[in-house]
Amino acid sequence: MNYTSFSQRVIALFLERQRRPYRNLLQQCHLTLQGTELVIESPDRMMNHALWLRRRHLAKSVPKLGVTAIRFRQQRGHKRSQWPEQKPENVQQEWQ
């Protein structure tokens, strides 16, 4: 068994052992295994914070899989918000 299939199996077992609400959140994230560390990359800051608050529940099944740590990250390349920022000058021009 090579490393990629092993890491995919560990991630699949990790997701299988989570409760449904946590599993639904985690399925929207990008999960990778780096050595013995599970890296959870979430698409936005709010989801990252929600998962971080549930870290105790997420970590209960991790030692059984041989993972020693969980790292939470926000995916790069995403904008802070989906709405374009309006500058005050643009707003003033609309009213003139």
Query: Hey, what domains does the chain have and what are their CATH numbers?
Result: 3-76 (3.30.300.180)
Quote the CA–CA distance of 80 and 21 in Å, as a whole number.
24
For 7-73, the DSSP string reads HHHHHHHHHHTS-HHHHHHHHTSEEEEETTEEEEEESSHHHHHHHHHTHHHHHTSTGGGT--EEEEE
Quote the CA–CA distance of 72 and 84 in Å, as a whole number.
27
| Cross-strand partners of 4 | none
Q: Is the pTM of this model over 0.85?
A: no
How confident is the prediction along the chain (96 residues), in pLDDT tens digits per residue?
Answer: 577 788 899 999 999 999 898 899 899 999 999 988 999 999 999 998 999 999 898 888 888 888 999 999 988 765 554 444 444 454 444 444
